[in-house]
Amino acid sequence: MERLRLAGVASISLVAVEDGDEANTESDGVVGHILFSPVTIEGETSSVPALGLAPLAVVPERQRGGVGSALVESGLAQCRKGGVEVVVVLGHSGYYPRFGFRPAHLSNLTCEYDSPAEAFMAIELQPRVRAADARLVRYHRAFAEL
Helix (H, G, I), strand (E, B) or coil at 117: helix
Backbone angles phi, psi at 16, to 5 degrees: -100, 130
Element (H, E) at 124: strand 120-124
Q: What's the pTM?
A: 0.84
pLDDT tens for 103-132 read: 999 988 999 999 999 999 999 997 665 555
List, for residues 21-73, the tens digit of each pLDDT value. 555 444 459 999 999 999 988 875 666 789 999 999 999 999 999 999 999 99
Quickly name the fold that domain 2-144 has.
Answer: Aminopeptidase (3.40.630)
